[in-house]
Structure 1
Amino acid sequence: MSEADRKETFLIPGYQHRTLKELAHHAIWRLIAPLPDRPYIAVKYRVIKGAWPDLKQPKTFTEKVQARKLHDRNPLFPVVVDKAAMKDYVARRVGGDYVIPSYWVGTDLMDVDWKAVELPAVVKPTHASAQGRFLYNARDIDNLLTDNPAPRWLTLDHAAYNREWAYAEVSPRIVIEQMLRTQGGIPWDYRVFTFNGVVSHIEVNMRVEGKGYACHYSPAWEKLPFHDPDYLPLYSGEVKRPARLEEMLRVAETLGSDFDFVRVDLYADDQWIKVGELTLYPGGGFERFDPPDYDRWLGDKWTLAFEIP
């Protein structure tokens, strides 16, 4: 297969590799599922991060994500967590050129007019993460329709699993959209953390020689010394400064100015920038930081725009 025809998996290699520890965690989540939001969140946080969260006076970034889940009912949240609805919002705020074109949105894959879908394409639920398929050819479409993950996707519920309120207000659907390509493969994911429209840093998720890696950079493109040990391996090398970095920062700052915090997930090439999604609850607020002090470093940048009773 030539470089131009390279096929890749939907999930970046190494992401969500199920270890025995993770399987044990999922068993615990099922046991505590009947709990109300506050104790459920506290127990889940304690199991993953090894400490109880301060939900009354949150200080770290991950504690503040938990507080947002419990108390922030911003009416914009259900709009921006919907991977289809957010496209109109992004177009209004920064322009349609930054939006990934959609071919179809609905609930039954059997209703799709596949003649209107230009391959390669991406199919995924509008209301969940880490789920989807890459469609490169007619065989991929046949496999999709044979397996038909739509019924399972439509039952996914982040509002129950991670107690992320905004998803409870979203009608589950499926979107088919254009697949972005650069240099024969999937573009890297630039996750831009913004607080009241100010960029704190950029998380870079990359595919290198069939493996997934992550690292973090400042807005001035200086590498930062922390990572999440439960996520992708830390990339030890240097990442080339994106050709359109200044434009990427402007787009993220404009979208971020409507929120006390939002992560603006971008894809970029030398010729274009596209907004992948807007993330309100990164990792459900359960991400680990190595070194741990960076959880507080990031939390200090977040001035909450909602009251904690």
Structure 2
Amino acid sequence: VINMGLINKAIKFVFDRNYRFLALDQRGVYNSMDDKEYLERKYESIFNIKLDLENPKTFNQKMQWLKLYYRRPEFTQYVDKYAVREYIANMLGEEYLVPLLGVWDNPNDIDFDKLPNRFVLKCNHNSGLGMCICKNKDALNKEQVINGLQKGLEQDYYLTGREWPYKNVKRKVIAEKYLVDESGVELKDYKLYCFDGKVKLIMINSDRNKDCSTKADYFDADFNYVNMTWGYEQSSVVPSKPLYFEEMKMLAEKLSKGMPHVRIDFYIADNRVYFGEMTFFDGSGFDAFGDIKYANMLGEWIKLPEPVVRD
């Protein structure tokens, strides 16, 4: 039986240089490539236009510029899901931290007997790979979880999009309390996009841990709905304004002061706000906007700073 799908992919691999780059990139072929050259090639391969680093306009273009030319050393602590806890405790207070259940250098050292029935395990240096959201410890395949975490620890997350803050994070596994929001069903993720210390856009992620795809809905700083798509589908029911919306805005603006752009994530559980993470390169600057006007709008909000270059 002739597999036409494989044949078409092979033809595309030979004749489409952008497709070929992305396919080889997934296999680590370009891991040793210079950051600037890599980002230029990847950007062109995804968007089919050249990356303009001399006069970047859109959000995604400016993300690539910031990766290359705005390398503040403290950002490495801020993206480290374990090390950032000290920073958040000092800036906001320990009450905003998701309770920590354990931290390990080696997943084989995890004592599952000491963990509660529900918990979250994740690596401190990446996004997704290795994460375990445990809702019932009795049904947990511990060997599978340990193997997943080991793969996560082995991932060089910096190489996936040349987001340099992840380059020097000392990799660990952390366990945190399993949180449930006011619905008692799923935990929404509130992502506040900050520009020079001001919240200008809010994304609400829903259906994050369900079998269906994650949804995203956007709102301005006054919680007016923004009808845009960016990397995710919109939900079928527009989320309502969260109870602690103004508090999250205040916290995000405090953390983002003096930064050209950062995304601050929060959860709401147990009738309180919890800090999630800080992200400097949403989607690594490679998620397409449904309408170019929003790519330009967010791009205009980023005022590029004087370069700060380091390895």
After superposition, the Cα gap between the structure-2 partners of 1:148 and 1:270, relative to the gap in structure 1 and judged at 3 Å, is closer
Q: Secondary structure at the match of 2:239?
A: coil
| Native 8 Å contact 1:127 1:173 kept in 2 | yes
Q: Residues 2-151 of structure 1: matches in 2 within 5 Å?
A: 26-29=22-25, 30-131=28-129, 132-144=131-143, 148-151=147-150
| Native 8 Å contact 2:58 2:295 kept in 1 | yes
| Native 8 Å contact 2:69 2:308 kept in 1 | yes
- More relative contact order in 1 or in 2 (CA 8 Å, sep 6+)? 1
Deviation per residue, 1:180-215 (Å, 9 max, x gap): 112222310111000121001101110298533111
Q: CA deviation at 1:265?
A: 0.8
Structure 1 residue ranges (4+ consecutive) displaced by more than 6 angstroms after TM superposition: none
After superposition, the Cα gap between the structure-2 partners of 1:245 and 1:111, relative to the gap in structure 1 and judged at 3 Å, is same
Structure (1 or 2) with the larger CA radius of gyration: 2
Structure 1 stretches of 5 or more lacking a match?
1-19
Q: Secondary structure at the match of 1:148?
A: helix
2:248 aligns to what? 248
Structure 2 stretches of 5 or more lacking a match?
1-8, 13-18
Partners of 1:83 and 1:96 in 2: how far apart?
14
- Report the TM-score when normalising by structure 2: 0.85
Q: Residues 223-302 of structure 1: matches in 2 within 5 Å?
A: 223-228=225-230, 231-269=231-269, 271-302=271-302
| Native 8 Å contact 2:78 2:84 kept in 1 | yes
After superposition, the Cα gap between the structure-2 partners of 1:76 and 1:147, relative to the gap in structure 1 and judged at 3 Å, is closer
Partners of 1:83 and 1:146 in 2: how far apart?
19
| Native 8 Å contact 2:121 2:174 kept in 1 | yes
Partners of 2:68 and 2:94 in 1: how far apart?
33
> How many residues are aligned here?
288
1:198 aligns to what? 198
| Native 8 Å contact 1:124 1:175 kept in 2 | yes
Q: CA deviation at 1:24?
A: 7.1
Identical residues among aligned pairs (%)? 28
Question: Which residue identity is paired with 2:296?
Answer: R
Q: Secondary structure at the match of 2:66?
A: helix
After superposition, the Cα gap between the structure-2 partners of 1:197 and 1:67, relative to the gap in structure 1 and judged at 3 Å, is same
| Native 8 Å contact 2:107 2:150 kept in 1 | no
After superposition, the Cα gap between the structure-2 partners of 1:24 and 1:128, relative to the gap in structure 1 and judged at 3 Å, is farther
| Native 8 Å contact 2:256 2:262 kept in 1 | yes
| Native 8 Å contact 1:244 1:270 kept in 2 | no
Partners of 1:220 and 1:66 in 2: how far apart?
29
Q: CA deviation at 1:294?
A: 0.9
Partners of 1:90 and 1:140 in 2: how far apart?
34
2:175 aligns to what? 176
| Native 8 Å contact 2:22 2:45 kept in 1 | no
2:5 aligns to what? none
- Report the TM-score when normalising by structure 1: 0.85
Partners of 1:146 and 1:256 in 2: how far apart?
35
2:160 aligns to what? 161
| Native 8 Å contact 2:119 2:135 kept in 1 | yes
| Native 8 Å contact 1:213 1:232 kept in 2 | yes
Deviation per residue, 1:36-79 (Å, 9 max, x gap): 11111011111212221111222211111111111222121100
Partners of 1:119 and 1:258 in 2: how far apart?
41
Larger mean Cα displacement after TM superposition, 31-40 or 215-224:
31-40
Q: Secondary structure at the match of 2:301?
A: coil
Q: Residues 182-221 of structure 1: matches in 2 within 5 Å?
A: 182=181, 183-207=183-207, 211=212, 212-221=214-223
Q: CA deviation at 1:146?
A: 6.4
After superposition, the Cα gap between the structure-2 partners of 1:146 and 1:274, relative to the gap in structure 1 and judged at 3 Å, is closer
Query: Aligned-pair RMSD on alpha carbons?
Result: 2.4
Question: Which residue identity is paired with 1:222?
Answer: N
After superposition, the Cα gap between the structure-2 partners of 1:80 and 1:136, relative to the gap in structure 1 and judged at 3 Å, is same
